[in-house]
Amino acid sequence: MNDVPALLAALRELHHVEAVHRGAQHVRDADRGRVFWEGLVELFEIHHHRRAERAFGWCVEMRAKKTRVIVVLQIAPVFSALDAVRVAQAVRRRDGSA
């Protein structure tokens, strides 16, 4: 389950924007029967950002009962919730973070 207040706080802290929660979308990133990621992505309308009008966010349960909060602005190449998930996964793999 996503922590919407934590996602809003992350948008404020990381991107210096105010946001309004506009709903959620189920996302499944799969290819040839292999599921890479599946979950609920929260959708936000953001204000006072020069390039983005929307953002996506979700929470990931980590080891030791910690939660990682992920927020992604809708700026090319991110046009959808699925794009946001794919970009976040690529960054995670590139950085070697769990």
32-85 pLDDT, tens digit per residue, is: 989 999 999 999 999 988 999 999 999 998 888 889 999 999 999 999 999 999
Report the first-to-last Cα separation within the chain, whole angstroms: 19
Q: Which domain holds residue 45?
A: 4-95
Query: How far apart are alpha carbons 21 and 83 in whole angstroms?
Result: 19
Our CA angle for 80, 93, 6, nearest 5°, is: 55
Query: How far apart are alpha carbons 72 and 95 in whole angstroms?
Result: 16
Tokens representing 12? Answer: 């404020």
- Cα-flanking dihedrals φ and ψ of residue 81, to 5°? -60, -40
Q: How many domains does the chain have?
A: 1
